[in-house]
Structure 1
Amino acid sequence: MAPSPSIVWLRDDLRIADNPALTAAVDRGGPVVVVCVLDEQSPGARPLGGASRWWLHGSLRSLADDLGRAGGHLTLRRGAAAEVIAALVAETGAGAVYWNRRYGALRDVDAALKSRLRADGLIVESFGASLLHEPWTITSGSGDPYRVFTPFWRACLAAGEPRSPLPAPASVDGLTVPGDALDAWALLPTRPDWAAGLREAWTPGEDGAHARLEQFVEHGLPLYHRRDEPAIDATSRLSPHLRFGELSPHQVWARVHAGLSPEAAANRAKFLSEIGWREFSYSILFHLPQLASINVRRDFDAFPWQEPDPETLEAWRRGTTGIPIVDAGMRQLWHSGWMHNRVRMIVASLLTKNLLIDWRIGEEWFWDTLVDADEASNAASWQWVAGSGADAAPYFRVFNPVLQADRFDPERDYVRRWVPEVDGPEYPRPIVDLAASRLRALDAYEAVKAAKSAAG
């Protein structure tokens, strides 16, 4: 008797190779239904921002093509995921459901669905696919989660080599099930179409991810010791591919341990520690699913954030602050959906410290405009800069954007690329006095310390 169909429910794992859920379904035998659900209804679901929606469209189109070549079919459905998957089980007579784990608030949806389907007699399995180590396996000697990166990453490295990537299935016995047309999801911007810069900069999909990885290994990793210079193409730009799971960290780990030039090999450990920061962010998210709205350090609940002046906030968003490296970063973001990491810290520091605007407002803007807007890394990084997060930068560390530019963009190549009018009379004066606003930020932090002390 032939096996009943298996359902593979894809989320942030839009790839065929090194996809444990897909591999398990193929290995079980029988027809395979591959489904992706656009879920904006389940408790804890956060609708995607505009740039992420653009990326998702391209990634799903690429995945559908890849599955088609392997004999499979991608089904698209929209709605509360638990109900969609349960209905698909009934519709197809599936006997097994497989997915790869996620780690934020939506894991409660997954756990409830797993219990429900198992009670109905189905095989239901979930797998680790998006992280090198599951968050609950990396804990301190006392069994608590780490709050400081260095010992966390040391523990990860001591936990042993990550597993090897799984090969792509040779073929998928695909079962075609009716679903939505991708265009019906209306993920792409149309009026206006602001995505020209994104199309110029990125190739969503599994093939694009591996091409980007190879380009980085050959050209970027040898220069990675200069990663803080935004005018140099020395960073990986793998973040959106990792965010949508077109590439797994296991594949990245394996690739940078094979066939590197001596110059690239010298930078491998530092690059992998940046993969470690992604792991650390997910560990924080796992233990605090509301990371995008709740301070990790609860004493920051007393921080005296200022009501943002609309014109000031808009100047920050559009890159017209009169502070060149900040404006360059915000314009790079607006044009390409991405910003150099060093510059992300600078623009975030200006917003949260010099302007005393709540980090959540910045996080929301990045969520809407970044192609790599990630529920763990985006929120954790904003909290790190603001001082409210795990392993946060000391609050008195206020990035001086002028000094940062002098140090990391001394020839002003990056600034001039994105702010060509920087030396002209039309360039605006700074919207804030950096020295005076730094002192104001330090006074605000003293108020937080005083409130914590008074509370005992």
Structure 2
Amino acid sequence: MTCTIVWLRDDLRVADNPALAAAIEHGEPVVVVYILDEVSPGIRPLGGATKWWLHHSLVALSDKVRRLGGELILKQGASADIIRELLRETNASALYWNRRYGKPERDLDASIKEYAKASGVDAHSFQANVLFEPWTVRTGNDTPYTVFTPFWKSCVNRPTPPRLPIPAPTEFIPPATQPASDELDSWNLLPTSPNWALAFDHRWNVGENGAHQALERFFDSRITRYAKGRDFPSEYSTSELSPHLRWGEISPFQIWHATDEFRRKMGNTPEITTNATKFLSELGWREFSYNLLYHWPELATVNFDARFDHFPWGPADPDILDAWQQGRTGIPLVDAGMRELWQTGYMHNRVRMVAASFLIKNLLIDWRIGEAWFWDTLVDADPASNAASWQWVAGSGADAAPYFRVFNPKLQAEKFDPKGEYLHRYLGDYEHPMLSGYPEPIIDLLETRNRALEAFKTLGDIPRQIRPPVVDL
């Protein structure tokens, strides 16, 4: 008896899962497998916070699959070896998965597809996790976009909107005998000694159900103040969907059409339209980031603007870097953000920009060091958005902030946390941390700002040098 294998990766959901839907429609028994692969060439190992999320997401997904009549098979190791063994073991006639856009992942998928087809297995991949695939969005000169606004304008002005989400299946046929599966606990994804994620359980509702509850909560009580409120870290105005999107517990298609439906339901008033448009534009930044990652695969390690290869980053003093990582800089807004990160695996976006700017410009520490720290500590550490956003702050990226834009953490706190509520939430031992009693800053903001501007002057009058995109042969 043959079967169809569904290989899940960053798409840990059963609704709007094209690979799963196609496998069920194929009519054979379905084997659903997730492979933890951190050993294949070029695959970036997960950070600690995303491992925590993955553990709980797989628990939730396993329950979903079991309710449909199947079993989630867990395997750890090199994907190509495991898939080959599964194809032989199950006598599979088909192998389906949803596409990824990083180059190591694409190369791996292409090699597996080639092997499967050479073995007589029907291998197909599907669009599931981006609204607009990178090769479909091009400028009038047939080049990739490097500026967000025209990119997103091109996307939203297409004659046809993104496809409708695929309904969740009600059941599928499992094979008579399931392949052997690892025990999830054997992967040791959860921290122990110490358990630094102790508070995460109270902060997050991981899984597909949690993702949709977060979206409903956003529509019920947050979207009407999103456009303005999203800049104020003490307010609960954002959707907090980013970790759910990172692991594909909800799809961008579901978010797009749910937002569109909400807008129609509320009568498309100017207030609703403004807030919904802004919300979808943040989904657009994620799309833009994946567009960049596809065409510039080394986005997390190589300056998008080649001029910055010569930028005089200072040596990363271990004590200074440690103070930034632990929220002990003496700069209240930076410290509050870094402590929020420690306590929740998350940081408000406005504060992320401030903390990143402080590291890069006030401390003159290479943006890649900050990117790597966020990769390890954020539950929503995304291979595209994390790298693109760090390069944006550094001034080395696409659509970059001007190099002379140095966020002043004191002014940012006064403007976006005027009552000190966010500061008090994470620096609770100081009643008024902006006013008195807070430890002295490890650096002088004005002095280091001027130092950063002098360093940027070393780039001279050289125009931007955007690296050519990788051409797929």
TM-score (norm: length of structure 1): 0.97
Residue matched to 1:283 = 291
**Displacement, 1:266?**
3.6
- 2:445 corresponds in structure 1 to 434
Other-structure match for 2:81: 83
Alignment partner, residue 99 of structure 1:
97
2:167 aligns with 167
- The alpha-carbon deviation at position 449 of structure 1 amounts to 2.9
Q: Distance in 1 between matches of 2:463 and 2:150?
A: 27
SS at match of 1:385: helix
Aligned mates of 2:410, 2:464 — CA distance in 1 = 35
The aligned residue for residue 141 of structure 2 is 142
Displacement of 1:174 after TM fit? 2.1
Alignment-mate amino acid for residue 257 of structure 1: D
- Contact map agreement 1:231 1:409 (CA 8 A) in 2: yes
The CA distance in 2 between the partners of 1:316 and 1:385, in whole Å, is 16
| CA–CA separation in structure 1 for the residues paired with 2:33 and 2:236 | 36
The verdict on how the C-alpha distance between 1:403 and 1:369 changes in structure 2, with shifts beyond 3 A counting, is same
Where does residue 22 of structure 1 map in the other structure? 20
Separation (CA, whole Å) in 2 of partners of 1:311 and 1:27: 58
1:412 to 404, 420, 424: 420
1:331 counterpart residue number: 339
Cα separation, 1, equivalents of 2:55 and 2:277: 34
Distance 1:231 1:276 in 2: 24
AA at the equivalent of 2:110: A
The residue that corresponds to 1:230 in the other structure is 233
Gaps of at least 5 residues in structure 1 are: none
Q: Distance in 2 between the 1:327 and 1:153 partners?
A: 34
Match of 1:52 in 2: 50
State the distance in 2 between where 1:361 and 1:128 align. 32
Q: In the alignment, which residue of structure 1 is the partner of 2:109?
A: 110
Q: CA deviation at 1:259?
A: 3.3
| Preserved contact between residue 293 and residue 360 of structure 1 (Cα < 8 Å) | yes
Aligned to 2:202: 200
3-state SS, counterpart of residue 257 of structure 1: helix
The whole-number CA distance in structure 1 between the counterparts of 2:91 and 2:419 is 64
Inter-partner Cα distance in structure 2 for 1:452 and 1:445 = 13
Contact 1:67 1:172 in 2 (8 A): no
> Would you say the 8 A contact 1:421–1:427 is kept in 2?
no
Q: CA distance change for structure 1 residues 452 and 161 in 2, over 3 Å: closer, same or farther? A: closer
Residue 125 of structure 2: SS of its match in structure 1? strand
Q: Aligned to 2:459, what secondary structure does the other structure show? A: helix
Decide whether the 8 Å contact of 1:5 with 1:31 is kept in 2. Answer: yes
1:108 maps to amino acid:
D
Deviations 1:15-47 (A, max 9, x none): 000000000100001111100000011111111
Q: Which runs of 5+ in 2 are unaligned?
A: 466-473
Q: Please state how far the C-alpha of 1:443 moved relative to its aligned partner.
A: 1.1
- Structure 1: how far apart are the matches of 2:277 and 2:194? 43
Structure 1 position 240 matched with structure 2 position 247: no
Deviations along 1:232-260, one digit per CA (max 9) or x if unpaired, are: 10011000000000000000011111134
Percent identical among aligned pairs is: 56
Distance 1:149 1:84 in 2: 39
CA distance in 2: counterparts of 1:331 and 1:348, whole angstroms:
14
Q: Deviations over 1:80-112 (max 9, x none)?
A: 111111110001000100000000021110011
State the TM-score, normalizing by the size of structure 2.
0.93
Q: Counterparts of 1:26-425 in structure 2 under 5 Å?
A: 26-105=24-103, 106-159=105-158, 160-175=160-175, 176-225=178-227, 226-260=229-263, 261=266, 262=269, 263-422=271-430, 423=432
Q: Aligned-pair distance for 1:450?
A: 5.6
Q: Measure, in 1, the Cα distance between the counterparts of 2:167 and 2:255.
A: 14
Distance 1:76 1:109 in 2: 19
Q: 2 CA distance for matches of 1:112 and 1:27?
A: 25
Over residues 392-422 of structure 1, what are the superposed CA-to-partner deviations in whole Å (9 max), with x where a residue is unaligned? 0000011111111111111111011111233
* Contact 1:217–1:264 (Cα < 8 Å) also in 2: no
| Total equivalences in the alignment | 452
